[in-house]
Copies of this chain bind each other. A is one copy, B any other.
Amino acid sequence: MSTASHSRAIPAIGIDFGGTTIKSGLVINGQIARRGTIIDTQQYSGPSAILDALVAVIEDLRKGEPDVAAIGIGLPGLVDSVNGIVHELTNVPGWSDVALRTLLNERTGLHVIIENDANAMAYGEWKYGAAKNGRHVICITLGTGVGGALILDGRLYRGAQLGAGEIGHMSIDLRGRPGPYGNDGGLEEYVGNHQIAERAQERYKGAGDERTITQCAPAELAAKALAGDAIAKQLWEDVGTEVGAALASVVWILNPDTIVIGGGVAKAGDLIFDPIRRAICGRTQKVIHEQLRVVPAALGNDAGIIGNAVLALESEQQARATRL
């Protein structure tokens, strides 16, 4: 057995710290061997109470597992993975410059890493999911927001301020819909969850058909389109074309071998994947796109747990190698 495959059998804990819940698991060989109790962040008053709950879940996952080597936590927001500091969290108040890595290391005695959630999910998909064997991988998550992460030349790419991968904020029309950072025409302003629903509501209204915003949610629109509704079908065509046009620009810049698309909106399946693939192929050179894989994410909600555990394990092994 090679060192590499042996080392992968070492258990690590992966934690997916979301806007409303914290999911966790004991990961062995890229599989979730046991899941931790889900933490509802809204039931806790601040970082220190959440930290206590986290430590309890970790201790529970470690029971009967003396070999657990590391903990990886992915968080939504401004995360300094180099220094282990959470600057701020999206939708979770009170997390202002929390030295989470040191705090958790002191409480558990384990090697700890923290990471941006999109990066961790991409890492999981790359090591054990849809992007396995890729070397230049673009991951994009279509949900309330449009997130992204990059594996370039076989390494997670973070950029100068660890802010790379924000495909949702790139512009598809420099004079288009106003973006939150002056980034007019930002992709998210067209294909975010709420934006899709609003556009659908508007189009139905234009056709004399008043619908609630809930009736226009992406899952509803997908069902409608599959049932033959022309407005819903056209909307998915437009949304897919917009996502595909943005990805075509990313292909011109980065020439990836794999594009992984996940998130709730991607559940529309072929309704969105067909126009995405058509737009990418229709807007790039054949020599570049003919070997490009455009695939749905494979690990679903587990990508974060798995990716964080694998990142933590690799970081721990690197730290140990440096010490030897």
The chain A residues found within 8 Å of chain B, CB to CB, are 78, 135-136, 148, 150, 152-153, 155, 157-167, 169-176, 179, 181-185, 241-242, 245, 248-250, 252-257, 282-285, 287-288, 291-292
Contacting residues, chain B, for A163 (C-beta < 8 A): 255, 285, 287-288
Contacts of A160 in B (CB 8 A): 135-136, 255-257, 288, 291-292
Q: Which of A160, A162, A241 gathers the greatest number of chain B CB atoms within 10 Å?
A: A160
Asked if A159 and B254 make an inter-chain contact with CB atoms under 8 angstroms apart, the answer reads yes
* Chain A interface, DSSP helix/strand/loop, else mixed: loop
Write the nearest CB–CB distance from A25 to chain B, whole angstroms: 30
Given A163-B255, A254-B159, also A172-B171 (CB < 8 A): yes
20 residue pairs from A and B, CB less than 8 Å apart: A135-B160, A152-B152, A153-B153, A153-B155, A159-B254, A163-B285, A166-B255, A167-B252, A169-B252, A171-B248, A173-B175, A173-B185, A174-B242, A174-B245, A181-B285, A182-B282, A182-B283, A183-B249, A183-B252, A183-B284
A154 CB, nearest partner CB in chain B, Å: 11
> For residue A284, which residue of chain B has the nearest CB?
B181
Most buried by B among A171, A182, A257: A171
Best-buried of A78, A174, A181 by chain B (most CB within 10 Å):
A174
CB pair A283–B184 under 8 Å, yes or no, is yes
Sample of 18 further A-B pairs with CB below 8 A, known A158-B255, A163-B285: A78-B287, A135-B160, A136-B160, A153-B155, A157-B254, A163-B287, A163-B288, A165-B253, A166-B253, A170-B249, A171-B245, A171-B248, A172-B174, A173-B173, A181-B285, A182-B284, A183-B248, A183-B252
The complex places the Cα of A176 from the Cα of B152 at a distance, in Å, of: 30
Interfacial chain B residues near A136, Cβ < 8 Å: 159-160
Q: Could you tell me the distance between the alpha carbons of A253 and B152 in the complex, rounded to whole angstroms? A: 12
What's the least CB distance linking A260 to chain B, in Å? 14
